[in-house]
Structure 1
Amino acid sequence: MVKKMLYATGIMSLLFPTLAFAADDPVATVSLSLDSLWVMVAAVLVLLMQGGFILLEVGSTRMKNAGHVAGKTIFATGLCTLVFWAVGYSLIFTEGTSLLGGLSEAFFNPSKIVEGGIAGTSIFFLFQLAFAAVSLSIAWGGFAERAKLSVYLIFTIIFGVVIYPVIAHWIWGGGWLASHGKQDFAGSTVVHLTGAAAALAATILLKPRIGKYNKDGTVNAIQGHNQVFSTVSVLLLWVGWFGFNAGSTVAVGDGFFGYVAFNTQLAAGAGAVAALIVSWIFLGKADIPTMLNGALAGLVAITASCAFVEPWAAVVIGIVAGGLMYFTMKFFDKVKVDDPVGVLSVHGVAGIIGTISTGFFATGELAEKVGVGKAGLFYGGGVDQLVVQLYGVITSGVFAFVVSFAALWLIKKAIGLRVTEEEEVIGLDLSEHGSYGYPEQMKKAGTGYNVTG
């Protein structure tokens, strides 16, 4: 047994040379090596979710904007990487105040040797970077089909410096909400609500797309051009979510990451089924986009609670999120808030549901295991955890919205947010990049001057 352990230690040291001096104990060294490998795999899974966001936004919008949607996601992810390296990581995870971290790790230089954990390593940095990039991609849903490319550049920097790091520090970096015991295991608030609040600010200031609403208040459905893309995107995001949620255990030793993954799968399935049934009842047809958004809503909602609740509660959380997603999407259309990708319902409303859910369903045993907060209302904890979850959601959502709105309002006054009417009608592929994502199809369609083309 000892010989096998020493052999495994040697192999791990070759694969991860920075771990060679992590511990004198071979068992501890192997455990740390496996944890590092798991978090690296999880980081890759979360980063690959950008492919899901590309296909989701492309499939949910019109053909004339497809190339723009895909390209700006890569550009924004690249810029987000540089901003997170320069200041974002440091503002989240270094000592500062209860409101914001410091700059001692600005232009982050990862530790060469791991001593007892992955914090401070390049692996942990990449894992956290992938989360920041996801939150940014969520925000882009509110900009879709009408924002200037320059706005994406400027807002990426603002989001990466003064919006995302603040909320992440409050909850994950030892800030004031962390000290109050706010439970948000993998980011229903930090990632999803933050991105959705920014999207809400954007869509209010940008105003609806041309042709979306009539003067009498009726809605013209602007259909996405490819439901297959949207469906594949949900599958990619679903798989990536195992890195998102299960990866947040940052350990494999006790197998708890499997429990988190199990709850994640249950909530996603429940959200998809609930949304499909609701659409069937109220539309008379089984609507595919609603079903897809239901699965995503279930995933978003379970993101905060996956490590704190029992499996039956994960199913309930998924059902509630998937069902409410449908009604809130109808509500936003009724009040003329044009949300092309459904970000406000899927990530905002479901993020709120997921965060609050631990105030009801968190078990004392799991809260103790994770080391955050206490049991929820239904498990004898009273209303204490529920109150923390409520004011945590409110303060985080309001902060992200207000700062995003202020920043975008200033950008609007300085250079403008929206492309011209002619550019919007032609499509952002041509007006912003000089070529269509689907050149042959668009040539066959003529000039591209088509609101629904």
Structure 2
Amino acid sequence: MENTLFTVNNVWMMICTALVFLMHLGFSLLEIGLTRQKNTINILFKNVFIISIGLVLYTLVGFNLMYPGSFIAGVVPDYFFGLFGLNMPENGLTIAYADGNYTYWTDFLFQAMFAATAATIVSGAVAERIKLGSFMIFTIIYVGLVYPIVGSWQWGGGWLSSLGNQVDEFGTVISEAGFYDFAGSTLVHSVGGWAALVAVWLLGARIGKFKKDGSPNAIPGHSMPFATAGVLILWLGWFGFNGGSVLSADPGKTSLVLVTTCLAAAAGGLSAFLVSLLKYKQYDLSMFLNGILGGLVGITAGADLMSVTDSIVIGFIAGGLIVLAVALVDKIQLDDPVGAIAVHLVCGVWGTLAVGIFGELAGWKQFGYQLIGVVSVGVFCLLFAYIIIKTLKSTVGIRVTSDEEQEGLDIHEHGMDAYPDFRLNQH
């Protein structure tokens, strides 16, 4: 019976790993759909690079940084100074590993799929004007070091995971408390969102995005069908993102997580389109789509703690925040072509704080723990993202020339067109 349960748990985790991998297709379609045709290949190239380099980096340094076993001063993983590559323990393929829920290899691959998501978030925010080489350097550093270090603070047993724990005179933990982030509203989504904020600020707006008086010009994307397909794929992939974060195939927990995840997404989409309708008097599909994503990001921190009603309320508030955040980003003249800052940063912060307001852990003390987590991760990510991107800007540069931007990155950086006119080659 134990072997059967071990196999079932492991298979479920592998299915969830495949669903999270599928999310990268969703991100790709969403980003190209909301941007212009002349930059399609550039965006696709970045997304393929992100998942490829992310897997290799997580193999070489990320996994051990994120799950080091011990820390220096509770903050810096001590593998930071040494262990590279994967080193499977003797019990890595047995029931003795991870309480019989999955093998070491499944554990690694599931976590690796999460790692690249942070850079994917930044990819959409800086689309259509960033130098490809500079973005690739940023991705290597941010995915290789920043994401796993932040993740180690909570999921790897670092200081956030023990924040508020009570211990006896012998040092034994007698009461566990502290920051909670089930599947990454902060540890994945806002990690990418903070970097996106810094990158958009240092990079500047696309040519023609803002008028002389500072008001925004709409720059429509070239394919709303692609964007819609991307969001629906992401919604499906989130069943693996959150469902797999149960870390087993436990029937009660996984089914609850899938229900809260799905309902928050639906409520987020409905809220965003309604608030947008009231504000702009239009049925805005792009707001509807981003509202769905906002609901998904918002529920991710506490998907296993919430009731049906809680999840709908959290998603509904997230959807409304999307509309307000997009308007605010435009007002302060930041150019985010896909709404990544609103979706992943604003709703990531909201979802994390919502754990202290709704669900099983709700209370002022828990809200305080959540706030500490949001602020500490925000400061760390803002600082390191600024150092990385500012250094690139001062050395190799981060922005393409105005001619390259206006003519399109596909031709200038890739020498090809995503949609060639074959009629030109007919004889």
Cα shift readout 1:116-142 (whole Å, capped 9, x = no counterpart): 425761111110011111122112122
Match of residue 182, structure 1, among 171, 176, 179: 179
Corresponding letter in the other structure for 1:398? V
Q: Secondary structure at the match of 1:359?
A: coil
Q: Does 1:256 align with 2:257?
A: no
Structure 2 distance, partners of 1:299, 1:105, is 35
Structure 1 distance, partners of 2:49, 2:268, is 32
Q: Does 1:101 align with 2:77?
A: yes
Q: Are residues 345 and 138 of structure 1, via their aligned partners in 2, closer, same or farther at CA, if it must alter by over 3 Å?
A: same
Aligned pair count reads 402
**1:361–1:376: 8 Å Cα contact kept in structure 2?**
yes
Q: Return the TM-score normalized by structure 2.
A: 0.91
Q: Are residues 134 and 441 of structure 1, via their aligned partners in 2, closer, same or farther at CA, if it must alter by over 3 Å?
A: farther
Look up the match of 1:170.
153
Structure 1 distance, partners of 2:132, 2:423, is 21
Q: Does 1:87 align with 2:69?
A: no
Cα shift readout 1:119-172 (whole Å, capped 9, x = no counterpart): 761111110011111122112122211111111221111112331011101111
Match of residue 362, structure 2, among 373, 376, 381: 376
Structure 2 distance, partners of 1:119, 1:202, is 37
What's the CA shift for 1:92? Answer: 0.5
What's the CA shift for 1:252? Answer: 1.3
Cα shift readout 1:222-270 (whole Å, capped 9, x = no counterpart): 1111100010101000000000001101111343111000000110010
Q: Are residues 123 and 406 of structure 1, via their aligned partners in 2, closer, same or farther at CA, if it must alter by over 3 Å?
A: same
Structure 2 distance, partners of 1:86, 1:203, is 29
Structure 1 distance, partners of 2:392, 2:309, is 46
Look up the match of 1:216.
213
Q: Secondary structure at the match of 2:355?
A: helix
Match of residue 76, structure 1, among 50, 66, 76: 50
**2:65–2:77: 8 Å Cα contact kept in structure 1?**
yes
Q: Secondary structure at the match of 1:305?
A: coil
Structure 1 distance, partners of 2:422, 2:215, is 30
Structure 1 distance, partners of 2:424, 2:192, is 36
Q: Secondary structure at the match of 1:294?
A: helix
Match of residue 161, structure 1, among 141, 144, 155: 144
Q: Secondary structure at the match of 1:228?
A: helix
Structure 1 distance, partners of 2:340, 2:198, is 12
Match of residue 284, structure 2, among 283, 287, 311: 287
Look up the match of 2:235.
238
Structure 2 distance, partners of 1:237, 1:347, is 13
Corresponding letter in the other structure for 2:141? I
Corresponding letter in the other structure for 2:374? V
Corresponding letter in the other structure for 1:152? F
Look up the match of 1:393.
374
Match of residue 436, structure 1, among 417, 420, 425: 417
Look up the match of 2:134.
151
What's the CA shift for 1:325? Answer: 0.7
More divergent stretch after superposition (396-405 vs 235-244): 396-405
What's the CA shift for 1:442? Answer: 12
Look up the match of 1:272.
269
**2:55–2:112: 8 Å Cα contact kept in structure 1?**
yes
Corresponding letter in the other structure for 1:106? F
Match of residue 118, structure 2, among 109, 130, 135: 135
Q: Are residues 352 and 442 of structure 1, via their aligned partners in 2, closer, same or farther at CA, if it must alter by over 3 Å?
A: farther
Match of residue 383, structure 2, among 397, 402, 407: 402
Structure 2 distance, partners of 1:443, 1:182, is 60
Cα shift readout 1:43-84 (whole Å, capped 9, x = no counterpart): 110011000000000001000001111122111211111111
Corresponding letter in the other structure for 2:6? L
Structure 2 distance, partners of 1:216, 1:86, is 49
**2:66–2:149: 8 Å Cα contact kept in structure 1?**
yes
Q: Does 1:331 align with 2:314?
A: no
Structure 2 distance, partners of 1:96, 1:211, is 51
Corresponding letter in the other structure for 2:53? L
Structure 2 distance, partners of 1:72, 1:135, is 13
What's the CA shift for 1:105? Answer: 5.1
Q: Secondary structure at the match of 1:44?
A: helix
Q: Secondary structure at the match of 1:146?
A: coil
Corresponding letter in the other structure for 2:139? T
More divergent stretch after superposition (136-145 vs 180-189): 136-145
Structure 2 distance, partners of 1:408, 1:211, is 23
Aligned residues: percent identity? 40
Corresponding letter in the other structure for 2:77? G
What's the CA shift for 1:282? Answer: 1.2
Q: Are residues 441 and 220 of structure 1, via their aligned partners in 2, closer, same or farther at CA, if it must alter by over 3 Å?
A: farther
**2:9–2:102: 8 Å Cα contact kept in structure 1?**
no
**2:118–2:143: 8 Å Cα contact kept in structure 1?**
no
Aligned residue runs from structure 1 range 111-126, under 5 A: 111=89, 113-114=93-94, 115-117=96-98, 121-126=104-109
More divergent stretch after superposition (139-148 vs 298-307): 139-148
- CA RMSD in angstroms, aligned pairs only: 1.6
